[in-house]
Structure 1
Amino acid sequence: MEAARYGPWSDLPPELLGLVLKRLPSLADRVRLRAVCHPWRSNGLLQQLPIPFPWLTLPDGTFFSIPGGEVHRMPIPDGARCCGAIDNWLFLMSSDDTCTLMNPFSKTTFELPNLVAVWRREAHYESDPKQLLYKLVTPSALDISPDSLIAALTKDGGNGTLCISQPPIATYMVQGNRKPLQHLFDVAFFDGKLYAVSVFGKLFSLKFRNNLGSKPKIKCVIESLGDCRGGPECIPREEVCTYRLYLVECGGRLLMVRRFIRHIGPLSRDYVFENMQTGGFVVLEADLGSNPCRWRRISELGALFIGQHGSKSMPARECSGSEEDCIYFICDYPHPKYFSSPFRDWCVQHAK
């Protein structure tokens, strides 16, 4: 009778397993549950579940799991380091500066142009390539193939080099201190075009011809912030803040997130970034249908996850455990050569 009352855990009915999985918003927890036994794995894959929280890429190539707060390091080949990610693809750089994308689950890899060589060719001063910040974007991150178009923004402090390629051949490079693309903050694909945002909210579109070996057509779409220059209501107008810009596609809209960073103590030449903290956000939508095109302020976002390595939007109702109109972030604004804990300034804020 006792044996009949308590069966093995592997015999847990699929409907009960689904109820458990729906209470696990963390991707890592779902993976652990499915790894218990083969029936749990096969039955778990059949469940219709809310989208799990994405992982945030940390400056050292590890990943931060929301909401569990765990730091994960994905297995990568010896001699390589992780410099970023595009959804399920890791951006790896080997000791000889060879660049690849690798899916850590299928182990599929795609070769990329040597971004360090591109940067050195375009830059006019010496710097340690290991201290550069890399962001990669594609028109469809979940459908990367050998002929996928990939744009890589390599940043060294306030400078940025944009490399647009079809692996493994680089097709177009521009240094961010040259016209027309000066002082680039971020790039994102939207509606088949690559968009780049520079200082003062100037937005450019880059349209590619059939021959990707030729230069794209660059057009300034939005000249300035216009009437959207103000900061969040929680920061007094007279207070001087540093800001960062992030581009992200959200539900058929192109958004720019302005992150305002406050000085919370005396300025120091050596530890300036340790005396700074995110004070608030302003989210703007590119109104590309108006004439002229302009930025307009919005507050209905869903869930936004922002970072210099990559940004992502998700409908809050489809993301397990997330809140409406919230922005998730970590401290990734210092230049990589300056030490700063990514958890010194991380939180989730409601958009204002």
Structure 2
Amino acid sequence: MYKTRIEKVVVSAPSAALPVIAVLTSDCGVIVSTRRRGGEVNSCLVLSERLIIDIALFQGKIYGVSNTEELVGFELGNGRLRKPTPAGARPDVAGGVTLIEGSRAHDSVDSRCSARYIRYRIQRRFPDSVARLYLVESDGKLLMVRRWVRWDAPESMARRCVRAAADGPGGYRRMERTRRLDVFEAELGDGRPRAGQWKKVDGLGGRAIFVCARCSKSAPAGDGAREDCVYFLRRQYLGRKPGDGSLGDSGVYDMRRKTITALLPESSVPAPLPWDSPRFPTWFFPVED
């Protein structure tokens, strides 16, 4: 039975006019809650769009991108989150506005969610390239990173079982390989529905971007972070465990040189984890002043 999980959590700054928490779920839904002081009842909303695969807070709004690269904006400062939502009550449902129309088509049988789309491709053993999409705010701009990946060549079930036995703890591991990355800026114009567009960019203004399924962030270059580079982390599917402790397909994309290098040299690969865990690798950042 499919269980809905939390995929990503984004939190607004405490100084925001309306501090909120937004949660992206594994069935591509988005839930928004206020962040009131202890003891006060918060207000919750469920966003009506069910195609969202990544979210970001940008200039007081929540933005979501679908697997077809459609960008949807959700206005929060219009009184929708004033009414408290008592425990056990159903949250109100709110709709967003399509600011950039989707353009990239998928051939998935179940197009409701990118995660299910990926599972379908794996189970059917299709080796075609698929795209990972990430939203991130960077220096006053809303960016989308598109990472094209291709799965290893498919194997028969018999060969898969042999490899799983040989792999030992962690079992069979089917790896993805990043082939290409592109970065786009959301040009929203005057904010009218469907009037925006994605504009490809060739640099980050001297900054670096860190992306993964759980957390994406832009930061000034320095302290080891190279300017105009995108740092990305791999993700596993179908409950496969790392086993070898490596970061797999994680790497660094240099937008100037158009090159992809490994995130860590082979000599720096960490030791195997002492516990079996399906957790995905993610980024951690220092607390900002």
Q: Do the two structures share a fold, i.e. TM-score over 0.5?
A: yes
TM-score by length of 2: 0.61
Would the alpha carbon gap of residues 342 and 194 (structure 1) be closer, same or farther in structure 2, given more than 3 Å must change? Answer: farther
CA drift at 1:257: 0.5
How many residue pairs get matched?
A: 199
Specify the alignment match of 1:190 in structure 2.
Answer: 58
Q: Per-residue CA shift, 1:277-319, capped at 9, x if unaligned? A: 1122111110112772100100212200001111000122xx3
Scaled by the length of structure 1, what TM-score is found? Answer: 0.51
Distance 1:246 1:342, change over 3 A: farther
Residues in 1 aligned to 2:97 and 2:67: alpha-carbon distance in whole angstroms: 16
Structure with higher Rg: it is: 1
Residue 244 (structure 1) aligned with residue 117 (structure 2): no
Unaligned runs of 5+ in 2: 36-40, 84-91, 105-126, 165-171, 259-289
Determine the structure 1 residue equivalent to 2:101. Answer: 223
1:344 aligned residue (232, 245, 248): 248
Structure 1 residues 267, 252: CA separation in 2 closer, same or farther (over 3 Å shift)? Answer: farther
Using a 3 Å threshold, how does the CA distance of structure 1 residues 187 and 273 change in structure 2: closer, same or farther? farther
* Percent identity of paired positions between Structure 1 and Structure 2: 30
Match of 2:44 in 1: 171
Asked whether the equivalents of residues 206 and 217 of structure 1 are also in contact (C-alpha less than 8 Å), the reply is yes
Partner of 1:255: 143
Cα separation, 2, equivalents of 1:327 and 1:205? 24
| 1:211-240, Cα deviation, whole Å (9 max, x unpaired) | 4045545100001247xxxxxxxxxxxx94
Greater than 3 Å deviation, 4+ residue runs:
167-170, 213-217, 267-273
Q: Any idea what the Cα deviations from partners look like across 1:84-108, whole Å, max 9, x if unmatched?
A: xxxxxxxxxxxxxxxxxxxxxxxxx
Match of 1:153 among 6, 24, 45: 24
- Partner Cα distance (2:246, 2:20) in 1: 30
Q: 2: CA distance between counterparts of 1:285 and 1:336?
A: 32
Identify, as 1 or 2, the structure richer in helix. 1
SS at match of 1:134: strand
Query: What's the secondary structure of 1:274's corresponding residue?
Result: coil
Q: CA 1:171/1:204 → structure 2, altered by over 3 Å: closer, same or farther? A: same
1:325 equivalenced with 2:213 (yes/no):
no
Unaligned runs of 5+ in 1: 1-124, 175-179, 227-238
1:306 maps to 2:206: no
Q: CA RMSD in A?
A: 2.8
Q: Which residue in 1 is equivalent to 2:79?
A: 210
Flag the 1:144–1:339 CA change in 2: closer, same or farther, 3 A.
farther
